[in-house]
Structures are given as structure tokens and as C-alpha cells.
Amino acid sequence: MDRSDLRQATDGRHHLLPRVIEPETLTPWLGDPRILIVDLSRRELYEQLHVPGAVHVVTRDLVAGVKPATGKLPPRAQLTALFSQIGLDAARHVVVYDDEGGGWAGRFIWTLDVVGHQAWSYLNGGIHAWSAAGLPMESQPVVPRRTEYEVELHPRPVADAEDILEQLDDPRLVLWDARSKEEYRGERVSAARGGHIPGAVNLEWLDLMDPGRHYRLREDLDTLLAEHGITPDRDLIVYCQTHHRSGLAYLVARYLNYDNVRGYHGSWSEWGNRDDTPVEQGG
């Protein structure tokens, strides 16, 4: 199956665009009012160049920002303000990209799932692939048409520490640690304790993208995940340090039609700073 031709989300509804869209496929849709293009690149890059019509989102608006688990889901009011400001409404299909290979784009897509907005796509390779294709770009910031988008939170995509503690001995659960090998083994410590959640498998987020193809997703993702014991028949929880890098892991799982994937938004910044959570090192 050519996954670039997928037209159906895991909820069974048809959408305007595939889950992962190539730059050339998006080009004819530029200017279509049914499409909302969201840029999560660094602001200084956005102000130099971006996909025509793309609105910019500052990544700090996607997180609560409260220490130690700064990456947790922000309050509903914060999300309501964000999505209203960028002009989201239920009828629009969102196309998301960034400048880093999909981490922040994936975090944004997870957030869309949390608020129940299933109509989304990832621009494969982000601004790197768009620029390499020689497609039109603009530098003038886009002022979005504001809407009144009242957010409702849906718990299904969200995992909390208590959910993991309850399921640690469940053989159906697979925990995907998207951090570096050094963080996973406890050699690089960014919390009170280093290491990983017991039983978690380590597949770094950088291994999901192909720098030789302008940071598009790898073409062998099914095989890569299976080699790490990550398969669609299991319950999947992804995490990293702040649920930023694991945003890409979540995106990949959704793209591959994993029905039961959740993002642990507390991630290691919460788990590693608690004193009641088990930790493994090495591996």
C-alpha cells in the first residue's frame, strides 16, 4: 500500500487530504479556504520564508509550561484562545509542518486529536522539503481570520503517569521512549533521576526521518517499528522528555493507523522527578 494515497483517518471519516502530504500535492490547495496551514518553525525562520498562507504558532502555546513537567497539556482556556486566534473551525482541514522533521508538528497533531479535530495532515519534510522542491514561499506574516473555537478535551489520546503505573505489567502495552540512547540508558540526566520507564523500548525520534530526502518520514517505518516490538495490535504510549520529540512518534503511529496510541504528556520531566515511579537504567 502506498501510504501517501491514504484518504481515511483511523476514525473512518474521509478528509480532503491524506494524513501525510507531499509538497507538490499541497500546492494546488494553496489559497483554498477549506485548508488551514500551520507553521511551527522558529519565528525568525517563519519571518524569512514560509508556505504561502501559513499561519505561525509559537510552540510555547502548546504546553502548560509549569515545572517540572513543562510539556503537559495546557488548560482548556489556553487551547481555546490558540485555536480561535489561528482561525480554526470544524470544517477546515489543517496541514501542519515545522523546520525540524516533525517533532512540533506531531505535538500539534496530538493536540488536535485531544480537542477532537480529526481533519489534519502533516506536510512531509516540512519547510526543508518545500524549499528543496523549489515551490513558492513568502515572507509576509499571515494575519489569520479569527474564529470562536470552543475547545472540548477528549481523553483518549492522553496518557498520565497513573495510567502507565496501572498498566506496567500488562503485556499488551508497549512504551516507546523517543529520546536519545544516552538519555534512555541514564547516561545523560535531565531530571532528578536518569533512565527510562521499566520495559520501555528506545527508538529515537531522529531515526524516523530521512535527512537524505529533506527530512521526510522514512519509507520503511512499518518495518522499523516492528523491529522494536512496536506493532499495531498493542496499546502504545509514546514519551520523551517533554512530549515534544515524542510528538513525531505519535504522528508516525497515527499515520500507520495504530488504533490505540497515546502521548504521555508528562513524559520524563514528570516521571524522572517523582519519587514514586520505578526507573530502569542501561539497555
What are the residue boundaries of the structural domains of the chain, listed by start?
3-132, 158-271
Tell me whether domains 3-132 and 158-271 share a fold. yes
Q: What is the pLDDT of residues 95-106, one digit of tens each?
A: 999 999 999 999
Residue given cell 528543496 in the structure block = 132
Say if residue 68 is preceded by a cis peptide, omega within 30 of 0: yes
Q: How confident is the model at residue 6 (pLDDT cuts 50, 70, 90)?
A: very low
Average of per-residue pLDDT across 53-82? 97
* Average predicted confidence (pLDDT) for the chain: 94
Note whether 150 and 90 are within 8 A (CB). no
Q: All 3 cell numbers of residue 117?
A: 479535530
Catalytic positions, written as ranges = 240
Phi, psi of 261 (to 5 degrees): -120, 135
Say if residue 52 is preceded by a cis peptide, omega within 30 of 0: no
Q: What is the pLDDT of residues 104-135, one digit of tens each?
A: 999 999 999 999 999 999 999 999 999 999 99
Q: What is the pLDDT of residues 204-248, one digit of tens each?
A: 999 999 999 999 999 999 999 999 999 999 999 999 999 999 999
Q: Supply the pLDDT for residue 283.
A: 85
Q: How confident is the model at residue 41 (pLDDT cuts 50, 70, 90)?
A: very high
Closest by Cα among 19, 26, 4 to 119 = 19
The answer for residues whose C-beta is within 8 angstroms of residue 82's C-beta and 6 or more apart is 57, 61, 62
Phi, psi of 248 (to 5 degrees): -70, -40
3-state secondary structure of 19: coil
Q: What is the pLDDT of residues 166-198, one digit of tens each?
A: 999 999 999 999 999 999 999 999 999 999 999
3-state secondary structure of 186: coil
How many CB atoms within 10 Å of residue 226? 12
Average of per-residue pLDDT across 5-34? 75
CA 75 to chain centre: 18
Q: Supply the pLDDT for residue 5.
A: 31
The answer for residues whose C-beta is within 8 angstroms of residue 160's C-beta and 6 or more apart is 264, 265, 266
| CATH architecture classification, 158-271 | 3-Layer(aba) Sandwich (3.40)
pLDDT reading at 1 higher than 90? no
3-state secondary structure of 106: helix
Which CATH number applies to 3-132? 3.40.250.10
> Per-residue DSSP letters for 124-176?
TTHHHHHHHTT---B-SPP------------STTEE-HHHHHHHTT-TTEEEE
CA 283 to chain centre: 26
Q: How confident is the model at residue 50 (pLDDT cuts 50, 70, 90)?
A: very high
Percent of the chain with pLDDT over 90: 94
CA 29 to chain centre: 23
